[in-house]
Structure 1
Amino acid sequence: MKGFSTRNLKYMRQFAGEYQDIEFVQQLVAQLPWGHNVFLMDLVRDKEARLFYIKEAIEHGWSRNIMVMQIELGLHKRQGKAITNFKEKLPSPQSDLAHYTLKDPYIFDFLSIGKDAHEREVEKGLVGHMEKFLLELGEGFAFVGRQFHLDVGDEDFFVDLLFYHLKLRCFIVIELKDNKFKPEYAGKMNFYLSAVDDLLKHETDQPSIGLILCKSKNDVLAKYTLKDMTKPIGLAEYRVTENLPESIKTALPTIEELEAELSKVSDQEK
């Protein structure tokens, strides 16, 4: 056979052998470019995990590089893993979709600002790299504002980050905490969600959702805290590390670039 390398023929045999008995998977992989399938066979040995990435790549139209990045960041282990009270506070199927939308942990490797960064540093960095931040949040998030002002009873309040989710049709309030989760964080989020629902939510919107991102959490404490909250709230950890997948290192900003960008944001706020 002309035009096929030995390596390509090896992948073709592997491809035929691995999917020959699973018709619905055959139909799915047929929707992916050959290069995507080669990387999936090389990088994802577990069949269930591979099926996850096949479905996600098709649904979201991932490029090969984006797919590889999501594999290296272990998306299949994080998607839908946040602790939430959505099942009790949201109607079905909104509760299931909202729960699946959130991850745990969130990986903010692109910030490259170190593990001890304070929440305001992380917040500025996320806004400064909004494209990468939105990619990690997932499809459907539209940025509304940072330190978004809420006037409640003639007093000023500011939520860290405000988004609108196009699929869920609701506002999402994100609060960043640079320490371990504390129960009082949920009470504050409950208040913010009440204010957003009253001041911003349109009558056709779904109830607003809160996401608290902490450096660490006690799962038992988190579940007890969210159990009796009146608003739908999710809780997850976030990671800011120096260990980056090789495939995305070259695309990330240097420390100097990030410092310059944060300085620019800081100067604009003065």
Structure 2
Amino acid sequence: MSDQPISLTPPPEGYADWLADLKSRIHTAQQRATLVVNRELVLLYWQIGQDILARQSAQGWGAKVIERLAHDLRTAFPEMKGFSRANLMYMRAFAQAWPDAEIVQQAVGQLPWGHNLVLLSRLKDPQQRLAYAQSAIKNGWSRNVLNIHIETRLLERSGTAVTNFDVRLPRPQSDLAQESLKDPYRLDFLGLGKEAGEREIENALVKHVTEFLLELGAGFAFVGRQVLLDVGGDEFFIDLLFYHLKLRCYVVIELKAGKFKPEHLGQLGFYLTAVDRQVKSEHDNQTIGLLLCKSKNKVVAEYALGDKTQPMGIAEYKLLESLPAELQTGLPSIEQLERELAGSDTFTEEKDS
């Protein structure tokens, strides 16, 4: 039976709001259902991995039992994906990496299996794995974004910039501001040589602003470059101006292609004052500044910030840097895994994660 044609008469008063509310509730229910299914699947994979570990340990079963198990499970459940030998090996490694069932249920179980494979293949340290898992859940990172953040050591760099936030900003704003800055900033995506100048870097950052926002982290919104400030009839230009949605304040970023010098903070402080007086509204918090330089002496930077009354941070940027050796593991990478699983054994949730 076909649906009746929709009446063209206007809907009753309040219908639009009710429809929007229903759509929101349905969408939320769909998301919850997906999370439940994913959590059950990850828990199942962990339980299978635990069984393999226990039986191999207690009964001395060799690696060949996994190959036989893969064949038998695929025969018994032809409609289910993910029972290849390679994936069973990852279930075993997953269970070995997370012996605590509570962590699986409450933390990594909230992530798709593909995310967990990235964590497993990229990170050796359990605390690092858990920290990246929690950040991925909190920020809704896709698998590719998670992979990028691990490769660029996002969490290891976060909160490490030299700042005076602890004495110039109230808590908890000071803590959030400190965590929002990192050191160094990885700008590998610019495709520039190590000797690039300030304007060249600035132009490239604007051209690749999406990648730069990803590197800056959650909460940053791009406002403009070479932002004009008219002070007493004289014109001044801010290199880059951002707004931080969580801190609810403007963030002035100044670029210096050389080594940090204390006098750089005088110019940055002038810009902060101008933005506070001319740009920010009464609802915005105090503007903060970030000086990005090619290199710095940490002690000199700390001394230079000591007498500054405005909230500022100093961090280095790196244009070219290879992947740290400690990120290499004995496990195959996620790309290698995908190649091995390509074909009939590819599990659908991996592709959708």
What is the match of residue 47 of structure 1?
A: 126
SS in structure 1 at match of 2:316: strand
Q: Which residue does 1:30 correspond to in 2? A: 109
Q: Distance in 1 between matches of 2:154 and 2:194?
A: 21
Residue among 232, 255, 262 paired with 1:183? 262
In structure 1, the residue matched to 2:283 is 204
Conserved? CA contact 2:97–2:126, under 8 Å: no
Taking the aligned partners of 1:42 and 1:102, their CA distance within structure 2 comes to 27
1:1-270 aligned at under 5 Å gives the runs 1-2=73-74, 3=81, 4-21=83-100, 23-24=102-103, 26-241=105-320, 243=322
Task: Identify if the C-alpha distance between structure 1 residues 152 and 143 changes in structure 2 by more than 3 Å, giving closer, same or farther.
Answer: same
Q: Distance in 2 between matches of 1:244 and 1:71?
A: 10
Q: CA deviation at 1:14?
A: 2.2
In structure 1, C-alpha distance between the alignment counterparts of 2:92 and 2:322, rounded to whole Å: 35
Count of residues paired in the alignment = 246
- The 1:213/1:25 distance shift into structure 2, 3 A limit, reads farther
Q: Which runs of 4+ in 1 moved over 3 A?
A: 242-245
Q: Normalized against structure 2, the TM-score is what?
A: 0.67
Asked if 2 retains the 8 angstrom alpha-carbon contact of 1:109 and 1:244, the reply is: no
Structure 1 position 242, deviation (Å)? 6.8
Q: Distance in 2 between matches of 1:88 and 1:153?
A: 31
Unaligned residue ranges in structure 1 (runs of 5+): 248-270
* Deviation for aligned residue 1:87: 0.3
Question: If the length of structure 1 is used for normalisation, what is the TM-score?
Answer: 0.87
How far apart, CA to CA, are the structure 1 residues paired with 2:291 and 2:273?
A: 15
Work out the CA distance in 2 between the residues paired with 1:133 and 1:63: 17
Alignment CA distance shift 1:40-1:96 (3 Å): same
**Which of structures 1 and 2 has the bigger CA Rg?**
2
Find the counterpart in structure 1 of residue 342 from structure 2.
none
Q: Any unmatched runs of 5+ in structure 2? A: 1-72, 75-80, 325-332, 334-353
**Distance in 1 between the 2:140 and 2:267 partners?**
37
Partner Cα distance (1:152, 1:55) in 2: 45
CA contact (8 A) 1:213 1:235 kept: yes
CA distance in 1 between counterparts of 2:217 and 2:93 reads 31
Q: Give CA-to-partner distance per residue, 1:114-162, whole Å, 9 cap, x none.
A: 0000000000000011111111111111111101011112211111000
Contact 1:19 1:26 (C-alpha < 8 Å) held by counterparts: no
Identity within the alignment, %: 59
Deviations 1:230-251 (A, max 9, x none): 1000110001117589x9xxxx
